[in-house]
Amino acid sequence: MPDRLFAGSTVLAVFAHPDDESLACGGTLARLADSGARVVLICASRGDRGPAGDPAPARPELGRARAQELRAAAAVLGVADLLILGHPDGNLRWAEVAPFHAELMIALRRFRPDAVLTFGDDGLYWHADHIGVHERTVTAIRSLGAGAPPLYCVTMPRGAMKAVVEAAHARGASPLASAFWGINPDAFGVSAEPPAFTVDVRPWIARKLAALRCHRTQFGPHNPLAWIDEDDARRWLGDEQFRRMEPAATSLLDGIGRPAHVD
Stretch that binds Zn ion, among 13-21, 29-37, 169-177, 250-258 (CB under 5 A): 13-21
Q: Does position 17 bind Zn ion by CB under 5 A?
A: yes
Query: Strand, coil or helix: what is 41?
Result: strand
Among the listed residues 9, 14, 18, 20, the single contact to Zn ion using CB under 5 A: 20
Among the listed residues 11, 12, 13, 16, the single contact to Zn ion using CB under 5 A: 16
Cis-peptide, bond into residue 247, ω within 30° of zero: no
- Which of 16/253 has CB closer to Zn ion? 16
- Which of 107/124 has CB closer to Zn ion? 124
CA dist., res. 248 & res. 255, Å (int): 14
Q: Does position 134 bind Zn ion by CB under 5 A?
A: no
| Residue 189 per-residue DSSP state | T
CB 45 within 8 A of CB 88: yes
- Which of 180/227 has CB closer to Zn ion? 180
Shortest Å distance, C-beta 127 to Zn ion: 6
**Bridge partners for 13 per DSSP:** 41, 117
- Which of 65/148 has CB closer to Zn ion? 65
Stretch that binds Zn ion, among 15-23, 50-58, 151-159, 198-206 (CB under 5 A): 15-23
161 to each of 28, 212, 220, how far by Cα in Å?
A: 18, 14, 16
Shortest Å distance, C-beta 82 to Zn ion: 16
Shortest Å distance, C-beta 16 to Zn ion: 4
- Which of 34/96 has CB closer to Zn ion? 96
Task: Tell me phi and psi for residue 243, to 5 degrees.
Answer: -140, 130
Q: Does position 46 bind Zn ion by CB under 5 A?
A: no
CA dist., res. 226 & res. 177, Å (int): 9
CA dist., res. 205 & res. 69, Å (int): 19
Shortest Å distance, C-beta 130 to Zn ion: 6
- Which of 20/114 has CB closer to Zn ion? 20
Task: Tell me phi and psi for residue 100, to 5 degrees.
Answer: -65, -45
CA dist., res. 146 & res. 168, Å (int): 46
- Which of 132/257 has CB closer to Zn ion? 132
CB 157 within 8 A of CB 124: no
Shortest Å distance, C-beta 28 to Zn ion: 17
CA dist., res. 230 & res. 210, Å (int): 10
Stretch that binds Zn ion, among 17-25, 89-97, 168-176, 181-189 (CB under 5 A): 17-25
CA dist., res. 175 & res. 172, Å (int): 9
Stretch that binds Zn ion, among 19-27, 162-170, 172-180, 251-259 (CB under 5 A): 19-27
Packing angle, helices 205-214 and 20-34, rounded to 10:
140
Q: Where on the chain is the footprint of Zn ion (CB under 5 A)?
A: 16-17, 20
